[in-house]
């Protein structure tokens, strides 16, 4: 119930009393599980983030080059996000402070709380160390790569685009454009 309201109306549509009523609880009973509306929103965001990280962790990259690893993981991330289109749009376009606390990625002090971005920074650091990509600032590079992927995903979601062949070509071209700029 909470996710339905969240997706349809954003964080402001998450209402403890309404959700409790719809699931057959009283508001005080729901407060036993969640300290408030913010805790529900955080749980909704965390659940999807964890699912995306699980998808990334499940990608077999044994024996792949850095570029092949990037491509395989980015494709996995891309398609994992598209499973939760409306949730992603609601979360990523929200200005709500509770949501931004979980999703803001441009502040250099806060990126480590975003598991997927942290993994990207670590992968970039590893690639630099192994001289597979040129010397770049891993955090800034991850922010640019992430932001441009966000733009592509939001356009696909907003336009309701579902031509899988063209989407595959878009993601391939996106990845080629991103990574040719940082290759050694």
146 or 116, which is more confident? 146
Query: What is the arithmetic mean of pLDDT over 16-35?
Result: 90
**Closest by Cα among 101, 103, 111, 115 to 38:** 101
Q: Read off the pLDDT of each residue in 25-40 and give the average, rounded to a whole number.
A: 90
Quote the pLDDT of residue 55: 92
CATH number for the domain running over 45-180: 1.10.357.10
Model confidence pLDDT, tens digit, residues 169-178: 999 999 888 8
Q: Is a pLDDT exceeding 70 seen at residue 48?
A: yes
pLDDT digits (tens, 9 = 90+) for 61-96: 999 988 888 889 889 999 999 999 999 999 999 999
Note the pLDDT of residue 184.
63
- The CB density around residue 149, as the number of other CB atoms within 10 Å, is 19
pLDDT of residue 80: 93
Q: How far apart are CA 15 and CA 33, in angstroms?
A: 14
Q: Look at 101-105, 113-117, 143-147 and tell me which has the smallest mean pLDDT.
A: 113-117
- Residue 16 pLDDT more than 70? yes
Range 141-162 average pLDDT: 93
| Percent of the chain residues past pLDDT 90, beyond the cut | 52
pTM score, whole prediction: 0.83
Close Cβ partners of 109 (under 8 Å, ≥ 6 residues apart):
none
Q: Which of 178, 115, 122, 116 is nearest to 145 (CA)?
A: 178
């Amino acid at each position: 119930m909470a996710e339905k309201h969240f997706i349809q109306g954003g964080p402001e549509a998450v209402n403890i009393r309404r959700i409790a009523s719809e699931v057959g609880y009283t508001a005080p009973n729901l407060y036993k599980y969640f300290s408030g509306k913010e805790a529900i929103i955080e749980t909704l965001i965390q659940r999807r983030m964890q699912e995306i990280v699980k998808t990334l962790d499940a990608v077999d990259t044994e024996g792949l080059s850095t570029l092949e690893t990037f491509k395989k993981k980015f494709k996995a991330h891309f398609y994992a996000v598209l499973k939760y289109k409306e949730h992603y749009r609601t979360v990523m376009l929200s200005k709500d402070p509770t949501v931004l606390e979980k999703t803001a990625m441009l502040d250099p002090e806060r990126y480590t709380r975003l598991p997927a971005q942290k993994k990207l920074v670590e992968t970039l650091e590893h690639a630099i160390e192994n001289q597979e990509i040129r010397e770049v600032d891993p955090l800034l590079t991850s922010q640019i790569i992430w932001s441009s992927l966000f733009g592509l995903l939001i356009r696909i979601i907003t336009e309701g685009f579902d031509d899988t062949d063209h989407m595959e070509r878009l993601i391939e071209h996106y990845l080629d454009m991103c990574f040719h700029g940082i290759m050694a």
